[in-house]
Amino acid sequence: MDIQPTRRGRSLVAIPAYNEAATIRAVVDRVRRALPECDVLVVNDGSRDRTPDVLAGSGVLLATHLCNLGYGRAIQTAVLYATRCGYEQLITLDADGQHDPAQIRPLVAEFDRGEWDILIGSRYVERKRYDGVPAGRRLGMKLFSGLVGMTAGRRIYDTTSGLKIIGRRTFAALTDWHFIDFHAEALVYLMRLGFRIGEFPITIEERRHGQSMYSTLSHVKYPLKTVLMLVLGMVQAGVTRRKAS
Amino acid sequence: MTGAGVLLGAAIGIALLLWVANLIRHDRLYIGYGVIFVVGTLAATIVLIVPSLLDAVTRGSVALLPVASLSIVPLALFTFLMVYVFAQITILANRVTRLTQELAIRNARQESDVEARAAEPR
C-alpha cells in the first residue's frame, strides 16, 4: 500500500479541521509561507460548514471524513497517510489559528537533533506553571501532568497541545492501538513503550473564531475517560513489551 | 443482605469490570460507553461492600420502590446484556470509522497523484 515519493519534502503538516471555515484558509496560507518545503494535509473531519470550499486552490491535500469521527481519529488518519506516503515526520497543529506556524521551524530544529520521538509544542514547560488558565482547566492540566509524571517517569506540562512533531518511528505504535485525543493517555502508552517524548516552549494566540471541541458535559466525561484509558494504556504497553521480548 | 450475598455481588461486579476493561482495551467497546459501565459498577460494588451505605440505599429504595431482592438477578443479567449490545455497536462503528478513514486517505492520495502528474514535464 505504500507510495514512495512525496511531493515536496520529508515532512507532512497535518491540520485536523471540524467546522473551521472562518480560520482554516488563513492557517493553511501561513503554514505554506512558513514551511514551503512541507506538504500540507487538511483532515476535514466531517465539517458541516464551508471548510472544504474555502480550501479550493490552496494547494493542500484534503482528506475528508464523510462523517465526524473526532479529533483522535482525524490525527490517526493523518498518521496513516504519513505512513503510507513515506514521510519521516508528521507535524500536527490546530485549525483555529492559535498556533503560529512561524514557531514550527525552531521546533523542527530541536526535533532534528534526534533526541526525541515526539516533540510537543508546550505552552507551560518554560514557566512550569499554568498562569492565566481558568481554575477548572488548570486543575485538569495539573492532574494529567502529574499522572503522566507518576506513571511514565517524566512529567509533561502540556498534555493537550495540538502542536506536535511525530517521528516515523512512532507511527506504527500510534495506529496499532487506539486513543481518545492523543493526550495524556497516548503519551503514557508511548513513554512506557520506550519512546522519548519532550516539550519545547511555544506561545499561542487567543482563539478568535469557532469554539472549543470540549462541551460542558465533556468536562466531566473527559477526565474519567482519559484516566481509564491511561490505566488501560499502561496494561497494553506491558502486554506489547512482553510480546516483543 | 447476607455475607454470601455481598460476596456474590462483589464477584459479579469485579467480573463485569474486568470484562468491560478488556473490551475497551481491545477496542471492542467505545470508551464513552465503557466509562459509564465502569463508574456504575464501581458505585454498585462499593454500596454492596460498605454496610452503612447498603443500609441507606436499601431503606431509600424500599421506601420509594419496593422490589423483591430477586430483581437483582435480572438487573445483573440486563447489565451484561447491555455491555454486549454496546460492544456490538462499537464493533460496527469501528468498521464504519475504518472505511471512512480509508476513503479519506484514498481521495487525498488520488489528489496528490493528479498534482504530481500535472507537475511532470511533458
- For chain B, give every domain's residue range: 3-119
Strand, helix or coil for residue A42: strand
Distance CA A10, CA A6 (A): 7
Cα A153 to Cα A122: distance, rounded to the nearest angstrom:
18
3-state SS record for B5-74: HHHHHHHHHHHHHHHHHHHHHCCCCCHHHHHHHHHHHHHHHHHHHCHHHHHHHHHHHHHHCCCCHHHHHH
Q: Which residues of B71-110 are buried (b: 16+ CB within 10 A; e: fewer)?
A: ebeeebeebeeebeebbeebeeeeeebeebbeebbeebbe
Distance CA A69, CA A179 (A): 12
Cα separation of B115 and A5, whole Å?
Answer: 13
Q: pLDDT exceeding 90 applies to what percent of chain A? A: 74
User: Is A2 part of any domain?
Assistant: no
Residue A1 — pLDDT band, cuts 50, 70, 90? very low
Amino acid letter for position A23 = T
B111 close contact with A: CB closer than 8 A: yes
**Residue A133 confidence (pLDDT):** 83
All residues of chain B having their beta carbon less than 8 Å from the beta carbon of residue A224 are 35, 39
Is the pLDDT at A215 greater than 80? The verdict is no
Residue A59 has pLDDT above 70, yes or no: yes
Contact flag B105-A3 (C-beta cutoff 8 Å): no
Residue B122 has pLDDT above 70, yes or no: no
Interface check B15 vs A, CB under 8 A:
no
CA A119, A121, A127 angle in degrees (round to 5)? 115
> Does residue A167 lie in a domain region?
yes
Establish if A234 touches chain B: CB-CB under 8 angstroms. no
Torsion A110-A112-A115-A116 (CA) sign: positive
Q: What per-residue confidence (pLDDT) applies to A201?
A: 95
Residue-wise pLDDT for A150-193, tens only, equals 999 999 999 999 999 999 999 999 999 999 889 999 999 999 99
**Residue A195 cell numbers, joined:** 519512546
Of A2-6, A39-43, A100-104, A116-120, give the lowest mean pLDDT range: A2-6
Q: Which residues pair with A153 in a beta bridge?
A: none
Residue A204 three-state SS: strand
Residue A172 maps to a domain: yes
Q: Spell out the residues 6+ positions from residue B73 whose beta carbon is closer than 8 angstroms to its own.
A: none
pLDDT at B58: 81
> Which of B28, B105, B110, B115 to probe the A interface (max A CBs under 10 A)?
B105
Q: Nearest-CA distance from A154 to chain B in Å? A: 24
- Name which residue leads in pLDDT, B105 or A126: B105
Does A5 fall in a domain?
no
In a domain? residue A6: no
pTM here is 0.87
In whole angstroms, what is the distance from residue A152 CA to residue A149 CA?
A: 6
Closest to A162 measured CA to CA, from A37, A55, A18: A18
Q: Which CATH number does the domain housing residue A221 bear? A: 3.90.550.10
Q: What are phi and psi of A199, to 5 degrees?
A: -125, 150
Q: How far is B97 from chain A (nearest CA, A)?
A: 7
d(CA A129, nearest CA chain B) in Å: 30
Which amino acid appears at position A69 of this protein? L
| C-alpha distance from residue A234 to each of A79, A150, A167, A192, A240 (Å) | 22, 12, 21, 7, 10
Average pLDDT over residues A42-60: 93
CB contact A62 to B (< 8 Å) = yes
pLDDT category of residue B74 using cuts at 50, 70 and 90 = confident
Which domain covers residue A22, as residue numbers? 11-244
Q: Which of A51, A15, A20 is nearest to A32 (CA)?
A: A15
Domain presence at residue A1: no
State the Cα–Cα distance between residues A204 and A22, nearest whole angstrom: 18
Query: To the nearest whole angstrom, how far is the Cα of A229 from the nearest Cα of chain B?
Result: 8
Q: What is the mean pLDDT of residues B24-46?
A: 94
Q: What total number of domains does chain A contain?
A: 1
Domain for residue A224, yes or no?
yes
Q: How many CB atoms lie within 10 A of CB B49?
A: 14
For B107, the 3-state DSSP assignment is helix
Averaged pLDDT, A90-109: 93
For chain B, give the mean pLDDT.
87
Average pLDDT of chain A?
90
Question: For residue A11, what pLDDT is reported?
Answer: 94
Is B108 within 8 Å of A41 when comparing Cβ atoms? yes
Give B87-107 pLDDT, tens digit per residue.
999 999 999 999 999 999 999
